[in-house]
A and B are shown apart, each in its own frame.
Chain A
Amino acid sequence: MEVRTFPETSLQTTGQRAAPIVITPPRGWLDLNLKELWEYRELLYFFVWRDIKVRYKQTIIGAGWAIIQPFFTMVVFSLFFGLLAKIPSEGLPYPIFYYSALLPWMYFANALNGATNTVIEHQRVITKVYFPRLILPLAAVLAGLGDFGIAFVILIGMMLFYGVVPTGAVLLLPFFLLLAVATALGAGLWLSALNAIYRDVRYAVPFLVQFWMFASPVAYPSSLIPERWRWLYGLNPMAGVIEGFRWALTGQGSPPNVLMFVSVAAVLLVLLGGIVYFRRMESTIADVV
């Protein structure tokens, strides 16, 4: 006969006891703990959801903002770089040529900016609650996809208008988008960790983004770059992203080549380095923000 001396407590009903959490001083370089990130996926979802929700709540024109920015930049570029400077456009109508590049570019620029500031913006939460800090830049980068999606609808309309028919390469579009996300995240991780320590980093970011744009084939096709320097040009991951984006959408321009492979390698390097560096800084972030 079983005799129960103690009533079961609510603690025991939660299942078997979890392994203890061990807290030690930070050590090691490869303590990435990506499994923990997975455990916190719901919080990531909530942060992304909040960012998107707040973005469209706060502004008067709401979602319109996501369209205005790339659309008017496209108009200006078409006028000055296209009609006036007559920069070659791979045989595409200028609006399509610029808009299809501005779309991933604007996404990247905004996501990078958001990721850079996110740690500082969450100062209060960071000093009060634990969660893997990696979630913050990750959420900032993913939330930017909301704007991207809205602006993308306009692109479809423009393509219909100009009668640009995508080829089968369009199936590769998600891959290039993923590459853009990875680039924004990789660079964002570096910058947000640096920004937490050195507060003036965020003032440098708009400059960086501006220079970066001219180093990317947004306003011009990469075919302007001499063949033997292409690989070097590819070290800028956004070069591969934008070139790939245009190609996947319109079938015009350069299909994946050396430049693309160099870009993918560069992204992976920046991203991995960013994760390691961010993880490394994570343990001291709450002390410095």
Chain B
Amino acid sequence: MGDLAIRVENLSKRYRIGQRERYLALRDVLARAISAPFRVFSSNSKPDGRNPRSDYIWALKDVSLEVKQGEVVGIIGRNGAGKTTLLKILARITRPTSGYAEVRGRVGSLLEVGTGFHPELTGRENIYLSGAVLGMTKREIDRKFDEIVDFAGVEKFIDTPVKHYSSGMYMRLAFAVAAHLEPEILLVDEVLAVGDADFQKKCLGKMEDVAKEGRTVLFVSHNMGMITSLCKRAILLEEGRLVTDGPASETVMSYYHRGGSSPHAVDFTRSGRPIGDHLATLLQAHIEDMDGNIVSEVDIRYPFKVKMRYRLHESVPEPPFPNFHFFDARGEYVFVSSSNNFTNGGTEPGIYEAECIVPGNLLNNGTYFIGLALTFTHRGIHVSFYEKDALAVNVKDPMEETLYELRSGYSGPIPGPVRPRLDWRIKKIS
């Protein structure tokens, strides 16, 4: 396979509908056997003893994929698209129904933090136990023990049963063990979704380290920001099929486009669940360029508008403040912008449209996520709704045009969440 770490060919996995939720009872089988011996006989002719006529669902269908050594690949898709199934097959937790996969190197799967922990055992004992479950040898754990304890910051409680740990300590220790696993191929599923912001940042840093060390990572997440920041490449699964495979930002965009509600124009009234409360609800929002076209991509040099429609349900003594929260692809706050006393809307019931112009030459190139909120201030601070990551916009830097205009001929990446064009003066002073 050359320098391939993972090769997957026409991989399919079939589940019986409901199989994941329901298990059988022997008494049911016996009851069926007594009532209809012939039916049971025929269904037993299948090697797995299940009725061949019942409904099946393909959790994964003909997925082919190649991952090079050292690549960090994101896997996105809706719930039930087959993301976790793919990881589980590669981790050998479950077997495919048909197809073939080849994995070269030691595989570590992080499908959950705290796998194998036992509450009655002490921190020390759990490090060994969980480490062994995750695939470390005793010698490896011996060697990394101090490092793990250090990373988790639980020195004082290392000989206390973990059932007495706070949930934060528990998580830190559990993650510390997992983080010190050194597989050549790491399969990660949403573990970063747990814990507080600090903890997530720590996890993120560790993932970046792993990627930098040249290991192969497959990373399933719903957090598009994390996908675009951690992975160069991403694949999109839809109903078990691989539909997009390409650069992470393009796959993320494709995910939104295919979802019907593309993230640059969202109709919130169709979600079935009204967003808001008795004072106001969020209706629609979109990104548009200065000519009034709804767009998903904007030029880094030109301003664009973020528009939001909301309905006021009752008249209020003071107008509310719409506010937009901008996050970069790593999930870091870039800025918050709000209307102010001079540009606020009305106080009467009705539909309002708020518009915010984001100037050109402010954001860097990349994907930005915009949270939409509406805040009332007449009786203390009251937030009617806050829809995080409601909109997404891709800021493009058309290099062929900006190379000399903005970049002085430099074609490499320019870091930072913003890239403002500032005034510079240079003069000769001696």
User: Which A residues fall within an 8 A CB radius of B?
Assistant: 9-11, 14, 17-18, 20-26, 42-43, 46, 50, 53-54, 57-58, 124-131, 194, 197-201, 204, 283-284, 286-289
Contact = CB atoms under 8 A, between A and B. Distances in A.
Interface stretch (B116-124, B260-268, B372-380, B414-422): B116-124
A54 B129 CA distance: 12
A125 B121 contact: no
B306 to A, nearest CB: 41
Given A128-B111, A129-B91, 6 more contacts: A11-B214, A21-B102, A21-B103, A26-B95, A43-B133, A127-B111
Nearest to B108: A129
Contacts of B407: none
Tell me whether chain B's interface is mostly helix, strand or loop, or mixed. loop
B160 to A, nearest CB: 13
B302 to A, nearest CB: 43
B69 to A, nearest CB: 7
A128 B112 contact: yes
Contacts, number: 131
**Across the A-B interface, the 9 shortest Cβ-Cβ residue pairs:** A198-B26, A130-B92, A23-B101, A46-B132, A283-B95, A20-B104, A128-B111, A286-B94, A200-B25
Contact of B115 (A42, A129, A287): A129
B89 interface: yes
A42 B106 CA distance: 16
Contacts of A194: 26
Given A128-B111, A130-B92, A197 B138 contact: no
A11 B69 contact: yes
Given A25-B99, A199-B25, A286-B88, A128 B115 contact: yes
B213 interface: yes
B47 to A, nearest CB: 9
B406 interface: no
A131 B133 CA distance: 8
B296 interface: no
B105 A18 contact: yes
Contacts of B109: 128-130
The listed residue with most A CB atoms (<10 A of its CB), out of B93, B115, B128, is B93
Contacts of B107: 21, 130
Interface in B295-309: none
Interface stretch (B16-24, B234-242, B339-347, B362-370): B16-24
A54 B121 contact: yes
> Interface size for chain B: under 10, 10 to 19, 20 to 34, or 35 or more residues?
35 or more
Nearest to B88: A286
Contact of B102 (A22, A129, A131): A22
A18 B183 CA distance: 13
B96 interface: yes
B214 A287 contact: no
Contacts of B97: 25
A42 B103 CA distance: 23
The listed residue with most A CB atoms (<10 A of its CB), out of B19, B104, B133, B215, is B133
Contacts of A197: 23-24
A96 B48 CA distance: 48
Contact of A283 (B90, B94, B115, B121): B94
B101 A22 contact: yes
Nearest to A281: B48
Contacts of B105: 11, 17-18
A57 B116 CA distance: 17
A42 B138 contact: yes
The listed residue with most B CB atoms (<10 A of its CB), out of A22, A46, A126, A204, is A46
Contact of A46 (B23, B112, B128): B128
A26 B13 CA distance: 12
Contact of B213 (A10, A26, A46): A10
Contacts of A14: 184
B72 to A, nearest CB: 15
A20 B102 contact: yes
Nearest to B97: A25
Interface string B23-57: 11111010000000000000000001000000000
Given A125-B116, A204-B26, A20 B1 contact: yes
Interface in B67-101: 69, 88-101
Interface in B252-301: none
Nearest to B15: A287
